[in-house]
C-alpha cells in the first residue's frame, strides 16, 4: 500500500477557540466536490454529539456511493483527527482510507498557529 503524506501550517490573528470551532464545524468532506471524476459529496455538518472519539457517520456522494467518516480523536481547542474509509465508489477503490489531523497552538501576541497533517 502506498502512503502519501501532506502537511500544511498557517498562523492567523484569532482566538484558539474561534479558529478551532470554525475548522471543526466546517464540513471538510467538501474537498471531494472539486476532484475530477468524483461526484460531489452531499451536504452534511458535524454536530457536537458527533465530535467524540469513535463517533461515525456514513456520508453519500451525489452518485449514491458512500464512505464512512469516523472521529478518531477530539481535544477541544487543541486537536482533532478523522478517518474516512469504506469507500463504495469504484473511482475511489484505490483508497483504503484517508486520515487527517488538525493541531492548534498559541503563538502569543494574539496569533494562533495550526497544522493539518493529511
Question: Going by C-beta distance under 8 Å and a sequence separation of 6 or more, which residues neighbour residue 19?
Answer: 12, 104, 112, 114
Q: What is the pTM of this model?
A: 0.76
Rounded CA separation 76/70 (Å): 17
- pLDDT band with cut points at 50, 70 and 90 for residue 35: low
Report yes or no: 41 and 26 within 8 Å, Cβ to Cβ: no
What is the average pLDDT score of the chain? 80
- pLDDT band with cut points at 50, 70 and 90 for residue 26: confident
51-87 pLDDT per residue, tens: 788 888 887 877 788 888 898 999 999 999 989 899 8
- pLDDT band with cut points at 50, 70 and 90 for residue 44: low
Amino acid at each position: 500500500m502506498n502512503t502519501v503524506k501532506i502537511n500544511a501550517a498557517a498562523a492567523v490573528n484569532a482566538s484558539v477557540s474561534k479558529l478551532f470551532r470554525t475548522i471543526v464545524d466546517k464540513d471538510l468532506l467538501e474537498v471531494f466536490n472539486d476532484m475530477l471524476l468524483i461526484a460531489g459529496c452531499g451536504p452534511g455538518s458535524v454536530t457536537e454529539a458527533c465530535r467524540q472519539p469513535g463517533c461515525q457517520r456514513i456520508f453519500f456522494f451525489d452518485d449514491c456511493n458512500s464512505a464512512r467518516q469516523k472521529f478518531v480523536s477530539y481535544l477541544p481547542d487543541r486537536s482533532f483527527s478523522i478517518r474516512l474509509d469504506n469507500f463504495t465508489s469504484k473511482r475511489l477503490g484505490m483508497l483504503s482510507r484517508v486520515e487527517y489531523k488538525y493541531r492548534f497552538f498559541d503563538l502569543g501576541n494574539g496569533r494562533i498557529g495550526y497544522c493539518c497533517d493529511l
